[in-house]
Amino acid sequence: MRIVLVHPAGSNWVPGKKDITATANRMAPLGLLSIAAYLEGKGHEVFVYDCLGPKAPADPDSNVKAILAHAPDLVGLSATTSGFLDGYDIAERIKSIRPQVKIVFGGVHISAMGDTLLNSFKDIDFLCMGEGEVTMSELAAGQDPERIDGLVWRNGDRSVTNPPRAQIPDLDTLPFPAYEKLRGFPKGYNLPLFSYILTPGATMITSRGCRYQCSYCDRSVFKHGFRYNSAEYVYEHMRYLKKHFGVKHINIYDDLFTTHRERIADLCGMLISKPLAMQFNCAVRVGHADDELLKMLKAAGFLQLSLGIETGDSDLMKIHKPGVKIEKVKDTIRRIHANGLRTKGLFMMGLPGETEESIRKTSDFVLSLGLDDMNMSKFTPFPGAPLWGTISEKGTFDNDWRKMNCLNFVFVPKGIGSKEELDQLYNEHVKRFYSDREWRKRFTGRLWEHRRSLLYMLLHLPTFWAAKNNFEPDKKPQGMK
């Protein structure tokens, strides 16, 4: 079968503002690439079309024309909440031109919403729930839809939800993602500025699932277990990226990369004894970053570690990130720095229960940590998250899927007067971090290391200047220093 897997452009920025996300950080669609490699291994002819890829056209008609040029029998689209409607627009246009092409949607939004989507969007033939590799291969092989676990499908005028798909027990049985199917990879796929020294860069995921229960996190696809590739598999994956694509820096986007300590110790041992001349970034969770492990990560070539912190208010942390404590965050960051690694703090503003006072606490807390970088997302309720069912009781919620991308405040907690006030507080907080004298001193001390990022920024200066203007509040909110 001829199959095209599509990554829709989606809505990735602020309405009325220039979308800079692909310029600032264009990530390879790893889920689609994994499915593509698996399907190709089963004998299918597979193409990957990234609507956010380098030089991809902006208009839907051109994208549809490019997809149909592959003469597909089946088109699969992977969608987040903010990307779903753009994906469906592509599906509608495909069906209007070639109604015989079968359309299947998968991804986190699909796995959270289920047959509601099939009932509401008539041009979708199938929904792939959960992990997609095996479900898609059985569908592509022509198996009776009734017998395919993890599939939602049409039977006349009704939708049928099959039993859930069992998780793949051994992730080492999966082939490496089909990076070669991406036009312009790796140089056209850029990591976040100043997060790397060496180029080109790439991304990896080495595990699936999470054992923790943060209030805001949608686990609809990989659920709450924890499966992982072996250290040997991860090392060979890294070596593959270096040998075939010249990759020199890898961002690892696992939720719980260091949770299985023995595997990370084994991986570090391989990277130390058989170095690849590469650098790496990853995320660590408080409680899974002891000093010995940090020393190994440093020796293995790791550059920067990210921590999901979310808030500097201890009461909010108890509700939204149970098991993580303010003092433990401080200690973990102190030890990361002591072992010669950089830190990036990941925060979230506008959580249920947020107030001006809690935002002030978070802003003060961020500056006290001496972080090398910071990311503050705008809290977005997602359908599969634990707090989804009660979100309307906690504040006002604009359930506009196109805006639900963590870059727009679609939810305003009861403790904040208005969305405009929340936006002002956010802009002031971000500006405060990057204006901090101590942060600027650390940053300027590394400018030569980051000359590649500087050059990239200069080449795209108008775009980044427009983004900077988003963080210029009209006035300073009360309560912020």
Q: What is the pLDDT of residues 355-375, one digit of tens each?
A: 999 999 999 999 999 999 999
Residues 6+ apart with CB under 8 A from 450: 193, 194, 197
Residues 56 and 121 in one domain: yes
Residue 177 lies in a domain: no
**pLDDT (tens digit per residue) in 375-397:** 999 999 999 999 999 999 999 99
Task: Verify that 335 and 197 share a domain, yes or no.
Answer: yes
pLDDT recorded at residue 479: 47
* Residue 178 within a domain: no
In 3D space, the residue among 216, 299, 289, 220 whose CA is nearest the CA of residue 257 turns out to be 289
Question: 3-class DSSP state for residue 300?
Answer: helix
Residues 258 and 334 in one domain: yes
Structural contact between residues 15 and 403, judged by C-beta atoms closer than 8 angstroms: yes
Residue 475 has pLDDT above 70, yes or no: no
User: Is beta strand 302-310 parallel, antiparallel or unpaired with respect to 342-349?
Assistant: parallel
Q: What is the CATH number of the domain that holds 378?
A: 3.80.30.20
Select from 69, 52, 84 the least CA-distant residue to 2.
69
pLDDT score, position 156: 86
Whether residue 98 is found in the same domain as residue 246: no
Residue 473 has pLDDT above 70, yes or no: no
Same domain, 342 and 451: yes
β partners of residue 281: 251, 304
* Average confidence score pLDDT of the chain: 94
Concatenated DSSP letters of 161-200: EPPPPPPPS-GGGSPPP-GGGSTTTTTTSPPPTTS-SSSS
Q: Is 479 left (phi over 0), alpha (psi -120 to 50) or beta?
A: left
Give residue 58's pLDDT: 85
Range 399-405 average pLDDT: 94
Say if residues 310 and 347 touch (Cβ distance below 8 Å). yes
pLDDT surpassing 50 at residue 404: yes
Mean pLDDT value of segment 135-143: 98
> Does residue 171 form part of some domain?
no
Task: Give domain status of residue 365, yes or no.
Answer: yes
State whether 12 and 68 are in the same domain: yes
Read off the pTM.
0.94
Q: Is residue 380 part of a domain?
A: yes
The fraction of the chain above a pLDDT of 90, given in percent, is 87
Q: What range does the domain containing 373 cover?
A: 191-469
Same domain membership, residue 146 and residue 205:
no
- In this structure, of 136-150, 379-393, 434-448, 467-481, the range with the lowest mean pLDDT score is 467-481
| Structural domain count of the chain | 2
Does 183 map to a domain? no
pLDDT at 96 over 60: yes
- Quick: pLDDT tens for 309-365: 999 999 999 999 998 999 999 999 999 999 999 999 999 999 999 999 999 999 999
CA distance 196 to 356: 34
Pair (16, 76) in one structural domain: yes
Pair 218, 102 in one domain: no
- Residue 474 falls within a domain, yes or no? no
Instruction: Give a yes or no: residue 476 inside a domain.
Output: no
Instruction: Give Cα separations from 61 to 48, 66, 92, 100, 394 (angstroms).
Output: 17, 9, 11, 18, 41
CATH of the domain at 85: 3.40.50.280
- 308 with 444, same domain? yes
Q: What percent of the chain has pLDDT over 70?
A: 96
Clarify whether residues 102 and 223 are in a common domain: no
Are both 151 and 209 inside the same structural domain? no
